[in-house]
Amino acid sequence: MIHYDLICKNGHGFDGWFSNSAAYDEQRKSGSIACPMCSTSEIDKQLMMPGIGRKSNQKSETRNPMVAASDPRMKKLIQKMREFKEYVENTADYVGDRFAEEARRIH
């Protein structure tokens, strides 16, 4: 199973669990994923923190997404990340499995 933090076009954040990343892509394309708050099917992945284990003797920090979402700096960061993602998707060539060959060719 794979967990994604998702966000709809209206800014509502929610969790999604999928059997693999291809399952997410298929469900997003077909419009099967809907926001539980506004029912829109225009969904994207949010920037996520990696799931890195902590030492057992460290205190866990509480993560409140509502506090982060109300912080204007966080909203600005999220907007900039979305703009950057869109820029990369519109200007970069996806080479997939040919990455190593393309890198060698460019080098």
In this structure, are 45 and 5 located in the same domain? Answer: yes
Q: In terms of residue numbers, what domain contains 104?
A: 63-107
Q: Per residue of the chain (107 residues), what is the pLDDT tens digit?
A: 888 889 999 989 898 989 888 899 999 999 999 999 999 999 998 876 666 666 665 555 545 555 555 678 888 888 898 899 889 889 988 888 888 898 899 88
Q: Give me the sign of the Cα torsion angle 94, 52, 19, 75.
A: negative
- Global pTM? 0.47
> Is 86 contained in some domain?
yes
Classify residue 56: in a domain, yes or no.
no
Q: How far apart are CA 22 and CA 2, in angstroms?
A: 10
